[in-house]
Amino acid sequence: EIAAVVVISSTGLGIALVSSDTVNFFLNILWFVAIANAFKLIDHPIGLAVGVATITCLTLFALASTNGQVLVATLSIGLAGSTAGFFIHAIHNYGVLPGDSSTRTIGFLIAFLSIQVDGPVNWIEGLANALMPLLVCSLVLFNLSWVIVTRLLARGSPAQAGQRGVSHQLLAMGLGSSAVRGWSFFIAGALGVLSYVIYRIDQAVGMLLTGLIGLGFLVSGALLVKASLHREHQE
C-alpha cells in the first residue's frame, strides 16, 4: 500500500491539500492505508464490504458524472459492477466472503477514486477536496473509529478485543445478520444521496448538513460505547 502511495504521490494524483510535499505525502499514506483497512474491517463477520463498496462507487460515479469527469466516472461504475457481481454471487452462495487482500484492494481503489473527484465550483477548493472523500467514505471510517475505540476500551479483555466492528456489537445486542446488513446498506445509500445533495447545494448549507452527519455519527458512537460497556458489565 505504501509503495502504491509513493507512485501515486510522484505522479501528482494524490492528496495535495497543503504546499508542503512532505505533509501531503503523509496525508496520502494515512488516507490510503486507513480506507483500505477500513473496508477490510467492515467485511467481518457478515460480509458488508462489497455491498458498501458498490454503493460508494455509485456515489462516486454520480459525483464524477456531474463534473463531466468521464474517466473517473467510468472507473467508478466499472468497480461498482465488479463489486455488485461478487455481492450477487455471495447471496447465492451464503458464507462466501472476499479475502482480506481483495477487500483492501477494493478499499484502496475507492480511496484513489474519491480524491480524484473535483470539488464543487462554488466551494473553496481545499475544503471541498478534504470533506467530500471523508463524507463519501464516512461509514467505513466510522466503523474503523469504532474498532479503535473498542480496542482501547478492551484493556486486556479478550472477549471485548475480539469485537472488531460495529456489526459485531449489533449482533451481540441481538440483531440478526439480515437486519444488520440491511441497515448498513440503507445508511450507506443515505450517505451517498446526502453526499450528492451536499455536492450540489450552497456551501453554507452543505457545511451545515456535513456537520449534522458528523454529529449523528458522534451520537451513534456514544450510544454504542454505552451499550457495549453495559453489556460487558452484565457479563
Q: Would you state the pLDDT for residue 70?
A: 92
Residue 176, class by beta-carbon neighbours within 10 Å (0-12 exposed, 13-18 middle, 19+ buried)?
exposed
Nearest to 200 by CA among 116, 79, 117: 117
Q: pTM of the prediction?
A: 0.88
Residue 117 Cα distances to 7, 56, 126, 202, angstroms? 19, 13, 12, 18
**What residue spans of 115-176 are helical by DSSP H?**
125-136, 138-154, 158-161, 166-172
- Count of CB atoms within 10 A of residue 97's CB? 18
Rounded percentage of the chain residues whose pLDDT exceeds 70: 86
Low-confidence ranges of the chain (pLDDT < 70): 93-95, 119-129, 154-164, 230-235
Instruction: Output the pLDDT for position 52.
Output: 94
CA 55 to chain centre: 10
Please write the tens of the pLDDT for every residue from 111-152.
999 999 876 655 555 566 678 889 999 999 999 998 888 787
Q: Alpha-carbon distance 133 to 202, whole Å?
A: 18
**Residue 149 to residue 225: CA distance in whole angstroms:** 8
How far is 137 from 107, CA to CA, in rounded Å?
A: 10
38 Cβ partners below 8 Å, 6+ apart? Answer: 107, 137, 140, 141, 143, 144
- What are the distances in angstroms from CA 196 to CA 27, 64, 88, 193? 24, 10, 26, 5
Give the whole-angstrom CA distance, residue 136 versus residue 114: 8
Given a contact cutoff of 8 angstroms between Cβ atoms, the answer to whether 14 and 115 are in contact is yes
**Residue 91 contacts residue 23 (beta carbons within 8 Å):** no
Residue whose entry in the numeric block shows the C-alpha cell 481545499: 126
Please name the amino acid found at residue 164.
R
Task: Report which secondary-structure segment, H or E, holds 56.
Answer: helix 49-67
